[in-house]
């Protein structure tokens, strides 16, 4: 009887082997997905960077040297931003001509073209940046090792600038700070996504690693400063403002964001400095990376 029972019992199903195989397949396809995502993101931001440079330098000859009327009307917001600075605070309200007169002569054509940068790059930036929401999902799904709160805050701040400021307030679209913000964003992201793409396939490019952990010294302040300036430019005149509706509350919320943006920048700079020291070691000169960071 015992022999009959033993004969009917087959080998136990290899549950552990099946689970391990499934996990291995998932890991392989996740890697392919991340490579595709990073490559496409790098190409998207490279397209935006090339558009921005082409527009500012007028490489295609499509830009007029005259500021359009809508840009003339909107630069009053940039004037308010300039006059809020300590060294210009005593100046009267700056007109478009007065603002331009404070720009070095050689840079004036760039300033004029910067006021129309949104018309050229606005929607590509909005589209490509919106896809960055996937990065929060990548962290939540543990596809990449990163801090979920940090990633969420970084992505949300960019989404807020595109959808909550640039598209919500048309007058801000003709602020020259749009060009400097997009330039900082696109340069940063071309470097970052290229670095991630090559890391996924096990390729290390020392110069790219150096750029990844060094350019933030310039690009982060440029980008964050432009972001704060655009939020400030979206604020109405006549502070304090009435608080009678949700729209009025949103005005005060934007002011709060302007105030906390600088401490936020300091936090990001400290974080990147720690990452740089971990990867490249102390000092500004390039050294062989001591560790790879995803």
Look up tokens 């670095």; give the residue: 195
Residue 128, phi then psi, degrees to nearest 5? -65, -40
- What is the sign of the dihedral through the CA atoms of 178, 154, 41 and 163? negative
DSSP track, 148-193:
HHHHHHHHHHHHIIIIIIITT-GGGGG-THHHHHHHHHHHHHHHHH
In angstroms, rounded to a whole number, what is the distance separating the alpha carbons of residues 84 and 82?
Answer: 5
Active site residue 227: yes
Instruction: Please classify residue 138 by burial: count the beta carbons closer than 10 Å to its beta carbon, then call 0-12 exposed, 13-18 middle and 19+ buried.
Output: middle
Give the chain's radius of gyration (CA, Å). 25
**List 100, 135, 189, 227, catalytic entry:** 227
Q: Are 216 and 188 in contact (CB under 8 A)?
A: yes
Question: What DSSP string runs through 53-121?
Answer: HHHHHTTTS---SSPPHHHHHHHHHHHHHHHTSGGGTTSPPPPHHHHHHTS-GGGHHHHHHHTTHHHHH
Q: Catalytic one among 33, 160, 217, 220?
A: 220
What are the phi and psi torsion angles at 243 (to 5°)? -125, 80
Query: Which pair of structure tokens corresponds to residue 70?
Result: 């809508």
Catalogue the active-site residues: 220, 227
């Amino acid at each position: 009887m015992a022999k009959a029972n033993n004969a009917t019992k087959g080998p136990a199903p290899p549950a552990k082997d099946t689970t391990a195989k499934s996990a291995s397949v998932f890991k392989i396809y996740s890697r392919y997905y991340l490579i595709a995502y990073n490559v496409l993101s790098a190409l998207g931001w490279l397209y935006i960077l090339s558009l921005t440079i082409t527009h500012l330098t007028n490489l295609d000859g499509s830009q007029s040297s005259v500021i359009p009327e809508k840009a003339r009307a909107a630069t009053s917001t940039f004037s308010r931003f300039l006059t809020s600075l300590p060294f210009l605070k005593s100046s009267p309200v700056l007109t478009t001509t007065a603002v331009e007169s404070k720009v070095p002569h050689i840079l004036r054509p760039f300033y004029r073209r910067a006021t129309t940068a949104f018309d050229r790059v606005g929607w590509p930036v909005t589209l490509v940046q919106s896809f960055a929401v996937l990065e929060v999902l990548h962290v939540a799904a543990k596809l990449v090792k990163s801090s979920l709160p940090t990633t969420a805050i970084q992505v949300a701040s960019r989404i807020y600038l595109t959808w909550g400021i640039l598209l919500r307030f048309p007058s801000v679209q003709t602020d020259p700070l749009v060009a400097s913000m997009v330039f900082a964003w696109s340069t940063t992201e071309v470097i970052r996504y290229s670095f991630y793409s090559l890391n996924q396939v096990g390729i290390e490019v020392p110069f790219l690693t150096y750029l990844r952990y060094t350019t933030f010294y310039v690009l982060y302040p440029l980008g964050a400063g432009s972001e704060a300036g655009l939020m400030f430019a979206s604020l109405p005149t006549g502070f304090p403002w009435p608080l009678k509706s949700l729209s009025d509350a949103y005005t005060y919320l934007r002011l709060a964001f302007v105030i906390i943006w600088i401490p936020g920048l300091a936090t990001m700079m400290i974080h990147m400095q720690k990452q740089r020291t971990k990867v490249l070691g102390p000092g500004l000169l390039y050294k062989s990376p001591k560790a790879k960071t995803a």
